[in-house]
Structure 1
Amino acid sequence: MDRNQGNCEETQSFRGSSENQRAGSSLKGRKGKRLWKKVKYQLVEYNSLPAYLKDNEYILGHYRSEWPLRQVLLSVFTIHNETLNVWTHLIGFFLFLCLTIYTAMKVPQVVDLPTLQHFPEVLRNADFQKLRTELIACLPSLPQMPDLHRLREELKTLLPSVDLSSFSNWNIVELLSNCLLERFPSNHTDACVLCSMKEDVANIIAPLMVRPITRWPFFAFLGGAMFCLSASSTCHLLSCHSKRLSYIMLRLDYAGIAALISTSFYPPVYYSFMCYPVFCSLYIGFITLLGLGTILASLLPVFQTPEYRSFRAALFFGMGVSGVAPILHKLILFWNQPEALHTTGYEVLMGAFYGIGALVYAMRVPERWMPGKFDIAGHSHQLFHILVVAGAYTHYRAGLIYLRWRDMQGC
Structure 2
Amino acid sequence: MTVSIPPKSDISKTDTNDNETCCTNKNVSSTNHTESLLDTTMYDFDNEEKTKEAKPELDNKIEKQNQCSTTMMRLYNLNEAPKHLQHNIFILTGYRGILNTKLCIESIFWWTNETMNIWSHIFGFLLFVGLTIYDLLLLKLHASFLDKLCVAMLLLCFQACMALSAIYHTFSCRSEHDCNYFLSLDLFGIALTLLAIYMSGIYYAFWCHQGLLSFYMITITVIFGFAMILQYPKLNINANLKMIVFVIWAAYGVVPTLHWAILMGGFGNPLVATLIPRVAGMYAISGAAFLIYLTKVPERFCAGKFDYLGHSHQWWHIFVVFALYYWHNTGIMYAEYRMNHACATMLRLDF
Class of the TM-score when normalised by the shorter of the 2 chains: 0.7 to 0.9
Counterpart of 2:124, as a letter, is: G
Matched-pair contact (CA < 8 Å) for 2:105–2:170? yes
Counterpart of 2:255, as a letter, is: A
The equivalent residue for 1:86 is 118
1:101 and 2:133 are equivalent in the alignment: yes
> For the residues of structure 2 that align with 1:340 and 1:219, how far apart are their CA atoms?
25
> For the residues of structure 1 that align with 2:214 and 2:75, how far apart are their CA atoms?
51
The equivalent residue for 2:149 is 216
- 1:219: how far off? 2.6
The answer for unaligned runs of 5 or more in structure 1 is 1-12, 110-209
Alignment CA distance shift 1:315-1:226 (3 Å): same
Task: Output the TM-score relative to the length of structure 2.
Answer: 0.78
- Structure with higher RCO (Cα < 8 A, 6+ apart): 1
Percent identical residues = 28
1:374 and 2:323 are equivalent in the alignment: no
1:409 and 2:328 are equivalent in the alignment: no
> For the residues of structure 2 that align with 1:259 and 1:213, how far apart are their CA atoms?
19
- 1:302: how far off? 7.5
- 1:339: how far off? 2.5
- 1:292: how far off? 1.8
Counterpart of 1:94, as a letter, is: L
Matched-pair contact (CA < 8 Å) for 2:91–2:307? yes
Matches within 5 A, 1:116-195: none
Name the count of aligned residue pairs.
Answer: 297
Aligned with residue 362 of structure 1, among 280, 294, 309: 294
Cα deviation, 1:231-257, whole Å, max 9, x if unaligned, reads 101110111112332222111001001
Q: What SS does structure 2 have at the residue aligned with 1:214?
A: helix
The equivalent residue for 2:185 is 252
Matched-pair contact (CA < 8 Å) for 2:205–2:260? yes
The equivalent residue for 1:160 is none
Aligned with residue 283 of structure 2, among 342, 351, 365: 351
CA RMSD of aligned residues (A): 2.5
> For the residues of structure 2 that align with 1:382 and 1:304, how far apart are their CA atoms?
25
> For the residues of structure 2 that align with 1:56 and 1:27, how far apart are their CA atoms?
41
- 1:280: how far off? 0.8
Matched-pair contact (CA < 8 Å) for 1:313–1:358? no
> For the residues of structure 2 that align with 1:211 and 1:16, how far apart are their CA atoms?
79
After the TM superposition, which parts of structure 1 deviate over 4 Å for at least 4 consecutive aligned residues? Answer: 13-21, 210-213, 300-305
Matches within 5 A, 1:9-408: 20-105=52-137, 106=139, 108-109=141-142, 214-300=147-233, 308-309=239-240, 311-334=241-264, 335=266, 336-408=268-340
Alignment CA distance shift 1:249-1:15 (3 Å): closer
> For the residues of structure 2 that align with 1:216 and 1:357, how far apart are their CA atoms?
29
> For the residues of structure 1 that align with 2:212 and 2:162, how far apart are their CA atoms?
30
> For the residues of structure 2 that align with 1:278 and 1:249, how far apart are their CA atoms?
38
> For the residues of structure 1 that align with 2:342 and 2:144, how far apart are their CA atoms?
7
Matched-pair contact (CA < 8 Å) for 2:230–2:242? no
The answer for unaligned runs of 5 or more in structure 2 is 1-44, 344-351
Task: Output the TM-score relative to the length of structure 1.
Answer: 0.67
> For the residues of structure 1 that align with 2:246 and 2:287, how far apart are their CA atoms?
10
Matched-pair contact (CA < 8 Å) for 1:360–1:384? yes
Alignment CA distance shift 1:211-1:70 (3 Å): closer
> For the residues of structure 1 that align with 2:90 and 2:201, how far apart are their CA atoms?
39
> For the residues of structure 2 that align with 1:98 and 1:259, how far apart are their CA atoms?
20
> For the residues of structure 1 that align with 2:53 and 2:325, how far apart are their CA atoms?
66
Q: What SS does structure 1 have at the residue aligned with 2:141?
A: coil
Alignment CA distance shift 1:39-1:304 (3 Å): farther
Counterpart of 1:327, as a letter, is: T
